[in-house]
Amino acid sequence: MSSRSPWTCVLWDVDGTIVDASDGILRRLTITLEHFGRQAPTRAELVHWIGPPMFESFQVTGGMTPDGAAEAVAFYRALGKADGYTTGARLFDGVGGLIEELAAAGVPQATASSKPERQVLALMEHFGLAPCFAAIAGATDDERTLAGKAQIIAEALRRLEALGIDTSRPVLVGDRHHDIDGAAEHGIPTIFVRWGFSWPHESEGAQAAVDTVAQLRDLLLVTDAAPEVPADG
């Protein structure tokens, strides 16, 4: 049996979709917000922080000015660099295996993450998944030059196209409404995964929503049955 995809390429969000980095994020947010005289979030409140660019979250959720948010992002990222970008991170069960299966089936893949690109690359290398991706796209370090999900998706597609990859029928896999909205700007459907950091209503606008990796696989790969061998005589 062989597998193929109904999509010409698959774009992946990272935080909440491939990787659970919540322990490290909560620790760094706590230190950063307390440093700037703000209240630290609880674990339940991480849903407000994980997904959008941190520059945006420090303003919308943290109540900071743009200049204050820029300072907070720089402080937060310095903590991440000191910690090592992979500290406390883990893959969601089964997702790494699916990414490897897609790569083995010849399906081009790229990340399209609001996380800084150097961190995305560090995570994919740490988990041995970097070779599965034709392109690893993420935000710029300042999270201002290139940060919006639509911008990052456009960059991921540009890099795939530069490699001669067919991007005529892409799909995005993500866990937040930002993923759906960003993909929609390019006319790209989103498959929404419910194991990330989202509210139940956030799947609105997605082409499909899944609860398990097995359900996701069914939407990304089609297994062709081996041809029947005629009986002798």
Condensed to tens digits (0 to 9), the pLDDT of residues 90-126 reads: 999 999 999 999 999 999 999 999 888 999 999 999 9
Under the banding of pLDDT at 50, 70 and 90, the label for residue 233 is very low
Across all residues in the chain, what is the average pLDDT?
Answer: 90
The residue that leads in pLDDT, 40 or 132, is 132
The Cα diameter of the chain in Å comes to 84
Q: Report DSSP letters for 99-121, one per residue.
A: HHHHHHTT--EEEEEEEEHHHHH
Question: What is the β-pairing status of strands 208-210 and 90-91?
Answer: unpaired
Q: Give the tens place of pLDDT for each residue, 53-67.
A: 788 889 999 999 999
Reference 114, options 89, 138, 150; nearest CA is: 138
**200-221 mean pLDDT:** 96
Q: Which residue shows structure tokens 């988990």?
A: 127
Start-end of H helices in the chain: 22-35, 54-60, 66-83, 95-104, 117-126, 149-162, 177-184, 213-220
pLDDT above 90 coverage of the chain, percent: 67
User: 20 pLDDT exceeds 90?
Assistant: yes
CATH of domain 2-20+90-224: 3.40.50.1000
Reference 53, options 225, 176, 187, 222; nearest CA is: 176
Q: Give the tens place of pLDDT for each residue, 28-84.
A: 889 999 999 998 888 888 878 877 778 888 999 999 999 999 999 899 888 988 877
Q: Which residue shows structure tokens 């941190």?
A: 54
pTM attached to this predicted model: 0.84
Under the banding of pLDDT at 50, 70 and 90, the label for residue 140 is confident
Burial, 37: exposed, middle or buried (Cβ in 10 Å; 0-12, 13-18, 19+)? exposed
Q: What is the pLDDT of residue 128?
A: 98
Dihedral-angle region of residue 44 (phi above 0 means left; psi in -120 to 50 means alpha; beta otherwise): alpha
**218-230 mean pLDDT:** 74
The total number of residues shown for the chain amounts to 233
pLDDT above 70 coverage of the chain, percent: 94
Backbone angles phi and psi of 84, in degrees to 5: 95, 125
CATH of domain 22-83: 1.10.150
Torsion of CA 16, 3, 6, 111, to 10 degrees: 30
Q: How far apart are CA 75 and CA 27, in angstroms?
A: 13
Query: How do the domains of the chain map onto residue ranges?
Result: 2-20+90-224, 22-83
For residue 43, what are the CA distances in angstroms to 21, 27, 144, 155, 164? Answer: 12, 10, 26, 32, 43
